[in-house]
């Protein structure tokens, strides 16, 4: 077979034999066939059905391949082609018949097997039972009871069951979507609580980090003060040694006094400058505190970050120096006190050294105040650095919180979009269900319309067949009139007409007329029948000139066209033999056939 013809056959099989429905992804037609076969098994072989159910041997385990392959994979090729030929003529009915025939023949053997044994039996034994006699299988198949009306009813029941299952599945999907929405809302609420907890923990960690940072800053400041105090202590120790050396020489006392006075004046000037610088730093600190209350512009963020890094470096160095200076100051003050206690007696014995000692004391006290003022200045600078670092930390925290808030908003929007998508999907499922119901109703109406058209076509064909039979009979009679002995046949026909008219009069309850017309030895009687007087011909020529169908209508207006009321009389053997001879190539029927 060429490829085009094979494809046309394939298309006809898929469309007209409902095979396309068997191989759709849902396999709805296969489920219907299994359901119908299971009902037939329950109705005709109840014991075998109970045996299958007791062993959980479902119908689909052995019958699915029957409907999907039309026994082409079950039987050998000769038997399968027989079944396929009948399928081409009758459709899926032969599959049900052959399947039930196989189960009926093998019922006794199947009742004795378990589930595995039945499976092996269906695969190995049943396919080769009818290799030698496929006609026996076909005979058994046509002995199976098959009721198309029951099959239609089962199809409707299966469609109702499937529609109910579809409704249940839709309800389950709706419930699952509702539960999913509830779960998402619960997760959303838990996520919000977790976010709040994380924010609180973040604030706590930020406070701890700030405290640690402040402690580190203070530690660095103390170290810086220590280093500064150590340097001052070393310089004070050197100065003390110089003073001790100068005190041993009375000639340099006056020079020392002048020098100390000049240093005192310089220290006072430096102290005044330090106080001015201290006030400026305090004002700057106040200004920075005001600036820290408001957020900086985005354009200054990069510059502030660079300043913060440089300030951190300076801060670490300043803290270290401050702590060292504080340590040196404490050591210097201790040494100064010890030195003043030791040298008090010497200065008391020598009245010339008293002004120098006082000047020296003032110089040392001024230096101490200077060192303290420097330490306070460094502390203020350190505080400024701390405030700047806190400001930067607050900015980072705010940016991080804004980013987290933005992520949470996006997540909420995604959840809302997901919920909207679920709602849209649910509405789409409902619409598809409604569309499928409308399609099913349209298909049912189309099937009913096709059935009505087919019934009307059958009625028209039957009417046409009846008309053709009547035309055939008219043609046979007309041929007999043309081919046989016209005079003798006309006499016989007229005698028959007279007898029929008498029968009509007797049937209607009228007596025949007394007057009769004789025509060439024929006795014709005119008998009008009530209202049909005008329909009966008045002469033999008019009667014979009409066709046989019109003649029958004229004589018997109430008689059906299918029956033939004109029966020829018995003729002589010679005329009967002549009637069987073909005239003009057309064989004439016997009188009995014409009467029939």
pLDDT at 562 over 60: no
Measured from the Cβ of residue 584, the count of other Cβ atoms closer than 10 Å reads: 7
**pLDDT category, 529, cuts 50, 70, 90?**
very low
pLDDT at 584 over 80: no
pLDDT at 415 over 70: yes
The domain limits of the chain are 3-146, 209-433, 484-595
pLDDT at 483 over 70: no
**pLDDT of 359:** 67
Rounded to the nearest 5 percent, the helix, strand and coil shares of the chain are: 80, 0, 15
Mean pLDDT of 230-247: 80
Measured from the Cβ of residue 414, the count of other Cβ atoms closer than 10 Å reads: 10
Counting Cα atoms < 13 Å in the Cβ hemisphere of 586 gives: 12
Nearest 5 degrees, angle CA 406-CA 397-CA 194?
A: 55
**pLDDT of 379:** 73
Contact at 8 Å (CB) between 136 and 84?
no
**pLDDT of 282:** 74
Mean pLDDT of 341-356: 50
What is the percentage of the chain residues whose pLDDT exceeds 70? 70
Mean pLDDT of 403-432: 84
Q: Spell out a b/e string for 231-262, using b for 16 or more CB atoms within 10 Å of the CB, else e.
A: bbbeebbebbeebeebbeeeeebeebbeebee
Contact at 8 Å (CB) between 295 and 398?
yes
Contact at 8 Å (CB) between 100 and 40?
yes
Question: How far is residue 550 from each of residues 130, 487, 537, 541, 553, measured CA to CA in Å?
Answer: 60, 21, 11, 14, 5
Mean pLDDT check: name the lowest of 122-136, 253-267, 339-353, 504-518: 339-353
Contact at 8 Å (CB) between 226 and 330?
no
Mean pLDDT of 159-165: 87
- Supply the mean pLDDT for the chain: 74
Instruction: For residue 191, give the H/E element and its range.
Output: helix 148-247
Q: Which long-range contacts (CB under 8 A, 24 or more apart) does 91-96 make?
A: 91/17, 91/18, 92/17, 92/18, 92/33, 92/67, 93/146, 93/148, 94/141, 95/33, 95/66, 95/67, 95/70, 95/71, 96/33, 96/36, 96/37, 96/40, 96/144, 96/146
> Between 517 and 98, whose confidence is greater?
98
What pLDDT digit, counting tens, does each position of 50-104 carry? Answer: 988 888 888 888 888 888 888 888 888 888 888 888 888 888 888 888 888 988 8
Question: How far is residue 256 from each of residues 243, 356, 358, 444, measured CA to CA in Å?
Answer: 8, 7, 12, 130
Mean pLDDT of 167-182: 85
Instruction: For residue 519, give the H/E element and its range.
Output: strand 517-519
pTM value is 0.33
**pLDDT of 325:** 63
> Between 562 and 94, whose confidence is greater?
94
pLDDT at 533 over 60: no
pLDDT at 393 over 50: yes
586 DSSP β-pair partners: 583
Q: Which CATH architecture has domain 3-146?
A: Orthogonal Bundle (1.10)
Residue 97 sits at φ, ψ, to 5 deg, of -65, -45
What pLDDT digit, counting tens, does each position of 113-140 carry? Answer: 888 888 888 888 888 888 888 888 888 8
**pLDDT of 538:** 45
**Rounded CA separation 49/63 (Å):** 14
What is the percentage of the chain residues whose pLDDT exceeds 90? 0
> Between 301 and 101, whose confidence is greater?
101
Measured from the Cβ of residue 120, the count of other Cβ atoms closer than 10 Å reads: 11
**pLDDT category, 399, cuts 50, 70, 90?**
confident
Following DSSP, what letter does each residue of 35-81 receive, concatenated?
HHHHHHHHHH-HHHHHHHHHTT--THHHHHHHHHHTTTTTS-HHHHH
**pLDDT of 585:** 39
Q: Spell out a b/e string for 264-275, using b for 16 or more CB atoms within 10 Å of the CB, else e.
A: beebeebbeebe
Distance of CA 493 to the CA centre of its chain: 85
Contact at 8 Å (CB) between 536 and 555?
yes
C-alpha radius of gyration, the chain, whole number: 64
Mean pLDDT of 4-16: 86
**pLDDT category, 540, cuts 50, 70, 90?**
very low
What pLDDT digit, counting tens, does each position of 420-433 carry? Answer: 888 888 888 888 88
* Strand bridging mode 522-524 / 517-519: antiparallel
> Between 244 and 464, whose confidence is greater?
464
Contact at 8 Å (CB) between 74 and 65?
yes
> Between 291 and 545, whose confidence is greater?
291
pLDDT at 304 over 70: no
Mean pLDDT of 485-500: 77
**pLDDT of 247:** 65
**pLDDT of 568:** 41
Mean pLDDT check: name the lowest of 133-142, 274-283, 444-453: 274-283
Instruction: For residue 522, give the H/E element and its range.
Output: strand 522-524
């Amino acid at each position: 077979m060429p490829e085009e013809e094979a494809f046309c056959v394939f298309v006809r099989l898929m469309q007209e034999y409902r095979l396309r429905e068997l191989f759709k992804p849902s396999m709805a037609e296969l489920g219907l066939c299994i359901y119908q076969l299971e009902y037939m098994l329950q109705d005709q072989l109840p014991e075998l059905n109970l045996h299958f159910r007791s062993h959980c041997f479902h119908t689909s385990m052995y019958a699915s391949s029957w409907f999907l392959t039309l026994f082409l994979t079950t039987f050998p090729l000769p038997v399968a082609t027989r079944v396929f030929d009948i399928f081409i003529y009758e459709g899926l009915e032969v599959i049900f018949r052959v399947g039930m025939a196989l189960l009926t023949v093998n019922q006794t053997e199947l009742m004795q097997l378990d589930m595995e044994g039945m499976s092996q039996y269906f695969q190995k034994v049943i396919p080769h039972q009818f290799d030698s006699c496929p006609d026996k299988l076909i005979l058994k198949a046509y002995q199976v009871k098959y009721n198309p009306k029951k099959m239609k009813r089962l199809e409707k029941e299966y469609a109702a069951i499937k529609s109910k299952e579809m409704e249940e599945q839709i309800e389950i999907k709706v419930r699952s979507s509702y539960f999913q929405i509830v779960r998402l809302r619960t997760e959303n609420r838990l996520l919000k609580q977790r976010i709040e907890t994380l924010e609180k923990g973040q604030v706590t960690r930020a406070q701890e980090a700030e405290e640690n940072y402040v402690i580190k800053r203070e530690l660095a400041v103390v170290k810086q003060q220590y280093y500064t105090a150590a340097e001052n202590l070393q310089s004070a120790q050197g100065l003390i040694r110089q003073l001790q050396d100068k005190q041993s020489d009375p000639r340099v006392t006056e020079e020392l006094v002048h020098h100390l006075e000049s240093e005192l004046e310089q220290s006072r000037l430096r102290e005044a400058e330090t106080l001015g610088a201290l006030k400026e730093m305090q004002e700057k600190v106040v200004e920075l505190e005001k600036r820290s209350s408001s957020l900086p512009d985005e354009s200054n963020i990069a510059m502030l970050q660079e300043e913060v890094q440089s300030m951190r470096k300076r801060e670490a160095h300043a803290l270290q120096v401050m702590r060292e200076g504080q340590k040196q100051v404490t050591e210097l003050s201790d040494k100064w006190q010890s030195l003043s206690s030791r040298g008090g007696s010497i200065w008391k014995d020598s009245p010339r050294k008293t002004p120098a000692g006082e000047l020296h004391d003032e110089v040392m006290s001024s230096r101490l105040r200077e060192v303290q003022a420097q330490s306070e200045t460094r502390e203020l600078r350190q505080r400024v650095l701390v405030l700047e670092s806190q400001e930067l930390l607050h900015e980072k925290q705010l940016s991080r919180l804004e980013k987290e808030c933005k992520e949470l908003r996006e997540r909420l929007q995604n959840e809302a979009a997901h919920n909207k998508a679920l709602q849209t999907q649910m509405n789409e499922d409902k619409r598809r269900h409604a569309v499928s119901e409308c399609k099913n109703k349209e298909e049912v109406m189309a099937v009913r319309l096709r059935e009505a058209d087919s019934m009307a076509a059958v009625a028209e064909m039957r009417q046409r067949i009846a008309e053709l039979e009547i035309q055939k009979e008219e043609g046979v009679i007309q041929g007999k009139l043309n081919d046989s002995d016209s005079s003798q046949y006309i006499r016989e026909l007229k005698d028959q007409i007279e007898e029929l008219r008498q029968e009509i009069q007797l049937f209607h309850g009228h007596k025949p007329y007394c007057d009769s017309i004789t025509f060439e030895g024929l006795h014709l009687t005119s008998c009008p029948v009530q209202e049909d007087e005008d329909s009966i011909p008045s002469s033999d020529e008019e009667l014979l000139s009409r066709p046989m169908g019109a003649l029958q209508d004229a004589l018997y207006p109430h008689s059906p066209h299918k029956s033939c009321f004109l029966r020829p009389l018995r003729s002589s053997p010679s005329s009967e033999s002549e009637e069987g001879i073909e005239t003009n190539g057309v064989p004439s029927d016997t009188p009995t056939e014409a009467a029939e």
